[in-house]
Every structure is written in structure tokens, then in C-alpha cells.
Amino acid sequence: MNNLSLATYLSWQEVWRNRGRFFLVSLVIALITLLVLFIAALGEGLGNANSQYISRINADLLVYLEKSDFIIPSSRVERSTVRSIRRLDGVQDAGGISTSSVAILLPDDEVLKVSLIGVEPGKPGDPAVTEGRNLAGEQSKEAVIDLNVIQRSDVRVGDLITIRATQGTKDEFFTLRVVGSTEGQLYSFQPSIFVPYGTWDRVRAKSDAELDSPSSTVNVVAISLSDVSAAQTVSDALTARIDNVEVADLQTAVENVPGYSAQQSTVQTQAVFTLLIGVLVIGGFFQIQILQKVPQIGVLKAIGADNFTVGMAAVIQIIITTTLGVAIGSSLAFIFSLTFPPTVPIVFNGLNSAIAIAALLLIGPAGGLVSIFYAVRIEPLKALRLS
């Protein structure tokens, strides 16, 4: 215990008396921290922009067309199947979800591209509203819009909006009343607007072939379970009893949103490489420093400091430098994040940032490990022989 306080004393004196040098290293760590946190936040932001609706959906399982590889736009499930699913044991409720992309006309000839999501009012997939009311009726000309639409335009709850959709070779226009708003519903890199299924089928983008006949399918079916722990049983029963479907839990569903996994792994690779660079920079600095300190460490050992004290002093020094750097970097990241508009896909989410900060706090000790071993192994005889 006393050795620990001696080690703390030595390392603190050294850091304080060389504060310029150590502060520079802390600044390097701060910059690396900033970079890593931004990469993590970008990953989170991009992931959100692509799949937020799915990851926050009020359901436990999603049902896809068999062999659709869990790709929502290429999956088609018959509406009659939704009703069969609803009758299965263990299924509390089920709702079809259909996706498309349309534009909202804004003043001054501007448009806002949004994901048009058709849901069954009151069923899984229909998001909870934060303002106004939920959708009602199969065919009603109303929409619930994502808070993100409000942030990016002047559209408010109660307004009428005009939707432009490409149907066949023509642009068609539809007017909907915004009855409510919801939040955190980005999908496919666009904010979402939700409409009842019947309305969706009328106003969505259509190919020539789809023009005349109403659609009898949805893309996927969201299921809520009576007992979440029975997810596997229900999933097995579903695939056994209903033809041509496959079932995914929400995590699988999110990972298979087109582009999601590729993007996340790219971003993660970047973060890992940045961390590695950090390890090398810190490692290099402390290693060079230890080489310069061989005589003084020799003296310390020759006058009776034990290996624990010498090694611990090196460890504490690295911890001080890293912690300071990470603290500065995180504060900078936080301050910068306040200046971003909502359209920038950078999201500081507690978990991702915490993981990044933990990893960053480890890079100091990881990088300094070699130098610590080196310090411990310096022979006290060095104090004499180098003199």
C-alpha cells in the first residue's frame, strides 16, 4: 500500500514537472478520442438512418417471404397470410408493413423525400404517437409523420401535405392530413411518414404493371408475442404451419436492412484502425521515454525502490495521461455534437460512446505495456555502469 503511494508520488511529480510534454501526448490521445467517438457516432447515425424504424418497432418478430434473405423490399407476404398468422397460438397480434418512397411537396418548389410506410392502424408496426392521434381506418387520407420531417420542414400536426409519387410513367399527387407525429422513425436514410394500408396502396410509387390491380401483399408482417420467451417456439410453429415464409427476430431484421451490415463493418473497421494507431502512438511515446529514463530508473532501483514501485509508477503515469486525453477528447466531441443539425447522421448514443471510451482508456495501458515491462526489467546495476 505504501509502495503504491510512493509510486503515485513519483509518477505525479514526473508528470507535473514535465507537464508540457505529457500534455502534448494527452492532446494526441484527445484527438484520437475525438476521431474514434465521431466514427462510432457516425456508425450509430448511419445505422439509425437506415433502420431506426425496424429497431424500435413495437413487435417481437418479423415474417418475410421465404428465401427473401430478410430483405424487406424484396419480400412479399399475402394479406390473407397476415390473418392466418394472427390466429396462431402464441401470437398476440400481427400487422402487415409495406414500404415505398415518395416526396412531400414543400413551399418554394422544394421536396422532402420520405419513406412511405403502410401499416395497419393499432396493429404491430403502427408507431406510438408523441403528439396528435394515431391513424384510424383502412382508407383514411391521413398520415402520422416522424419528428424528423417536422425538423426538416414547416409541416406540423394538423397540416395538409401533398405527396408526389411516381406511378407508371406519371407523377401523381395526393393530399393527406397529418394527424399525429412520432419520433425516431428513420428508415432507408429518410424520415418516415405512416399511412393506413389502403391509403398506402393508393399513394405509393408503382410500376406500370401494378397500376390497375390493387396490391394483395405487404412486404413483411410484424408480430407481437403473448410470451416473448416463447419466440423460438412460435417462430418454428409459424414456418411449419404457414407456407413460404421465414421468420426473423428484430436483430436479424435490422442487420439485414439493405446496406446496414456493410456500413457498420466499414465504420467498425475504421474505429478499430484508429484505436490501433492510438496504441502505436502511445506505445511509441512511452517506449522512447523509458529508453531515455534507463539511468534514472537504474538509480531508483539501486537506492532500493522495488519493481512494484517502478512498474506501478509507469502504469499510473500512463493512466493519468490517457484519462486526461480521453476526458478532453470526449468533452470536445460532446461540445461539437451540440452544433450539428438533425440532418447530420451523427448520433452519440450512450452505449456506443461508452464502448468507444472504454476502448480508448485501454489503449494507453495497451500501448505502454511493453515500456512497463521494460522498466521493470531494467537492472539497478545500470545506474553504475552508465555513469
Partner 1 sequence: MTLALEVKNVIKSFQSDSGEIRAVDDVSFAVEAGEFVALVGPSGSGKTTMLSILAALLSPTSGQILIDGVDLANMSEAERVALRREKIGFTFQSNNLIPYLTALENVQLMLRLNQRFDRAGAVRSAELLSRLGLGERLNNLPAQMSGGQQQRVAIARALIHNPTVVLADEPTASLDTERAFQVVQTFAALIHENNRAGIMVTHDLRMCQYVDRVLQMRDGKLVKIFTSREEILQLAKGE
Residue 381 within binding range of partner 1, rule CB under 8 A: yes
Sign of CA dihedral 237, 238, 242, 246: negative
Residue 301 within binding range of partner 1, rule CB under 8 A: yes
| Per-residue contact string for residues 91-120; x = within reach of partner 1 by CB under 8 A | ------------------------------
Residue 313 within binding range of partner 1, rule CB under 8 A: no
Residue 141 within binding range of partner 1, rule CB under 8 A: no
Residue with cell 425538423: 151
* Cα–chain center distance at 333: 16
Least separation in angstroms between residue 315's CB and partner 1 is: 17
Question: Which region holds residue 170: left if phi is over 0, alpha if psi is between -120 and 50, else beta?
Answer: beta
How many residues sit in the footprint of partner 1 (CB under 8 A)? 26
Residue closest to 58 by CA, chosen among 2, 111, 124: 124
Nearer to partner 1, 356 or 383 (CB): 383
| Per-residue contact string for residues 205-244; x = within reach of partner 1 by CB under 8 A | ----------------------------------------
Q: Which residues pair with 64 in a beta bridge?
A: 246
Residue 20 within binding range of partner 1, rule CB under 8 A: no
Nearer to partner 1, 14 or 93 (CB): 14
Mention every residue, 6+ apart, whose C-beta is less than 8 A from residue 147: 130, 181, 182, 183, 184, 185
Least separation in angstroms between residue 349's CB and partner 1 is: 41
Spatial distance between the Cα atoms of 103 and 141, rounded to a whole number of angstroms: 16
Nearer to partner 1, 17 or 241 (CB): 17
Least separation in angstroms between residue 296's CB and partner 1 is: 6
State the greatest distance between any 2 C-alpha atoms of the chain, in Å, as a whole number.
Answer: 96
Using CB under 8 A as the binding rule, the residues of this chain from 269 to 298 that contact partner 1 are 295-296, 298
Strand ranges inside the chain, DSSP E: 61-65, 77-78, 91-105, 111-119, 131-132, 142-146, 160-167, 170-182, 192-196, 217-218, 220-225, 245-249
Q: Which of 9, 173, 273, 373 binds partner 1 (CB under 8 A)?
A: 9
Residue 204 within binding range of partner 1, rule CB under 8 A: no
Contact 311, 376 (CB under 8 A): yes
Nearer to partner 1, 111 or 384 (CB): 384
Least separation in angstroms between residue 359's CB and partner 1 is: 30
Spatial distance between the Cα atoms of 262 and 353, rounded to a whole number of angstroms: 20
Residues contributing to the site for partner 1 (CB under 8 A): 2, 6, 9-10, 13-14, 17-18, 295-296, 298-306, 380-381, 383-387
